[in-house]
Amino acid sequence: MLKNLGALGIAGIVILLAGIGLIASQNLLIAAGMALIVAGLGLVVKSLISGMLQNFGMF
């Protein structure tokens, strides 16, 4: 999976985790909520892209 992301994708994940860690150092409940939001958004984007690729017959 990391091979497909590239350097920019890996940097994005590191920045995302650092941001959630920074929030968690202040309030764990808010950090957990933000992590769930990011995970949900990722699932929605993956679903949209998969559906689009299926419409084009590529997946």
For residue 32, give its domain range.
Answer: 2-55
Cβ atoms < 10 Å from Cβ of 15: 10
Count of the separate structural domains present in the chain: 1
Average pLDDT, the chain: 87
pTM for this predicted structure: 0.75
Cβ atoms < 10 Å from Cβ of 16: 14
| pLDDT (0 to 100) of residue 18 | 93
In this prediction, the residues of the chain whose per-residue pLDDT falls under 70 are 1-3, 59
